[in-house]
Amino acid sequence: MIKKTLKLGQFKIQQMAFMLIAVVIFFALVGIFVLGYGLSGLKQTANLLEEQNAMLLVSKLANSPEFSCGEAFGVTRINCIDFDKVMMLKQDIKKYNDFWGVSNIEIRKTVGGEQETLCNLANYPNCNTLKLLEQASQGYDYSNFVSLCWKEKSTAEIIYDKCAVAKLIVRYKEKI
Amino acid sequence: MKSYNKNKKAIEFSFTWLFAVIIGTAILVLAIYAATKILSTGGAETSAAAAKEIGVLLNPLETGFEAGVSTSLSLPTDTRIYNGCDNFSGFGKQQIQVAQKSFGRFSEPSVNVSFPNKYIFSNETEEGKKFLIFSKPFEFPFKVANLIYLTSSNEKYCFIDAPENIKSELSQLKQENLLVANCSTSPEFIMVCFDTGTSCDIEVRYNSGYLKKNGDRLRFATDALMYAAIFSGGGIYECQASRLMQRAEELSSIYIKKANLLQQKDCNSNLDLLSLLNSFRSYEDSSDLRLLSDKAEEIEVGNRVSSCRLW
């Protein structure tokens, strides 16, 4: 009689233990699902904010001190990039890697039909693309038209200001 | 025999229930703990997103060379903005933390969101639903950055006997919490006195280039840094000023290289930028601004009359 009762008790405890394991697994699965959903929303928010940052930055980046013409070409110019200055900035660009919160910054002269010639100290200013920040990353580009000005020396040895229309392109790093 | 059997049944029944109650309680406690954690993580996420959003929304305040621009930032609930500054490594970082009020109490401050290219001057903590912001370029002697001044709409400043240029600039801003007239009798204002009063909250010695606030003596150069010292706590001011000098040092180095590049085209600027760079490099605190200011002014004059202007 005692043996039989113990067996029945053991069986009930075992049954309950299985039930409890099932309940725990169920809640764990629900938890994982909720966490996954929450994290995907978080990633989306982060990407949206990065996108917003790139969009707002591109419209004002040309006026930041490292890029702007200031009064170097006579009068104050807005949305004007000093080509001489950014060429020198390119030499020290490592210090600015995380400064603007974007992964790529590029300035491209909008001259139709020309092949892309990357700017370096040897071919400057006879080039059309300056890649300032270059990080291998996935993301979207945002661009803005700016004027690109530099000092040029004529054949008659006269220094004059030369400007061209250019596109300032920034890319933000998408969180995958 | 009968009573023995009864007792046995009672023991068996109570043990099963005891087991279920203990494990059930454990599960319930775990579930409540997890739910609380998820809720607090959600709150932290919202606050962090708000902090990042505030930083991103400040981008349009980066102006060209025009005068200050004022704007407001309204939030749906009472919010605390914690202004942090880190001046170590590179250009340092502007840090923002946000805590929002829910169920009558403020949540824990969010994680630090950092912006290396921003300079916000405010008290360590600003509280309110509406924040008023204006910005001004800091030129020393070339443009170094746009400084952002953030105040809560609950704080009202009264500028007494301000010089004409400051008065006209503040009037043009039309920022509701910055007044230059008809405010001297009201006790709710933070009094900012220029070269006159002694019983004011902030005493500005405009021509001597320093001000006294909460017992601290903060030195400034240019109007942009004067506003910075007025609107921010001493710690924030010193830290941000040091970050500005780090950026000015790097900009000096870029201008030196630009001057060398232009020299190859026979376009000489003849500015002693190297000594300016060294002064920026040896900057320790705002007491160094006086000497730096003289040097910057001298170089600015040189650039203005130069046939080959660098900025």
Chain-centre distance of CA B213, in angstroms?
Answer: 18
- pLDDT of B269-283, one tens digit each? 889 999 999 999 999
Spell out where B44-176 has E strands.
Answer: 69-86, 93-102, 105-106, 113-115, 120-121, 125-139, 143-152, 156-160
The interface residues of chain B toward chain A in range 116-145, judged by CB-CB distance below 8 A, are 116-117, 142-145
Distance from CA of A155 to the nearest CA of B (A): 12
What is the tens place of the pLDDT at every residue in B54-98?
Answer: 877 777 676 554 456 788 889 888 999 999 999 988 899 999 999
Binary contact (B31, A38; C-beta < 8 A): no
Structural domain range at position A12: 1-176
- Please give, one letter per residue, the 3-state secondary structure of B155-221: CEEEEECCCHHHHHHHHHHCCCCEECCCCCCCCCEEEEEECCCCCCCEEEECCCCEEEECCEEEECC
Optimal mutation site among A6, A132, A151, A168, interface B, most CBs of chain B within 10 A = A151
Q: At what angle do helices B289-305 and B273-281 cross, to 10 degrees?
A: 160
pLDDT of residue B63: 52
Contacts of B115 in chain A (CB under 8 A): 101
User: B285 or A14: which carries more pLDDT confidence?
Assistant: B285
Query: At residue A31, what are phi and psi to the nearest 5 degrees?
Result: -60, -45
**Closest by Cβ to B49, choosing from A49, A91, A101:** A49
* Interchain CB distance below 8 Å, A9 and B15: yes
Distance from CA of B284 to the nearest CA of A (A): 21
Q: Does B37 touch chain A (CB under 8 A)?
A: no
On whether the pTM is more than 0.95, the answer is no
In angstroms and rounded to an integer, the radius of gyration of the C-alpha atoms of chain B is 29
A109-161 confidence digits (pLDDT tens): 987 777 889 999 999 889 999 999 998 777 889 999 999 999 998 888 889 99
Return the pLDDT at A116. 87
Total structural domains in chain A? 1
- Of the residues A18, A124, A159, A168, the best mutation for testing chain B's interface (the one with the most B CB atoms within 10 Å of its CB) is A159
Q: Do B254 and A66 touch (CB under 8 A)?
A: yes
pLDDT tens, B169-220? Answer: 999 999 999 999 878 667 788 999 998 766 789 999 999 999 999 888 999 9
Q: Which residues contact A65 (CB under 8 A, 6 or more apart)?
A: B142, B143, B144, B145, B247, B251
Tokens 């892309």 correspond to: A116
* Subunit contact A153:B42, Cβ cutoff 8 A: no
> What's at B9, amino acid-wise?
K
The pLDDT, as a whole number, for residue B273 is 95
Give which of A8, A35, A39, A49 to mutate to test B binding, by max B Cβ within 10 Å. Answer: A49
In the prediction, which pLDDT does B82 show?
A: 95
Mean per-residue pLDDT, A22-49: 81
In B, residues 217-276, which contact A (CB 8 Å cutoff)? 247, 250-251, 253-255, 257-258, 261-262, 265-267
- Tell me whether residues B267 and A151 touch, CB distance under 8 A: yes
Say what the pLDDT of residue B165 is.
94
Q: Does B101 touch chain A (CB under 8 A)?
A: no
Pairing verdict, β B178-179 and B189-194: unpaired
Please check whether residue B115 touches A, CB under 8 A: yes
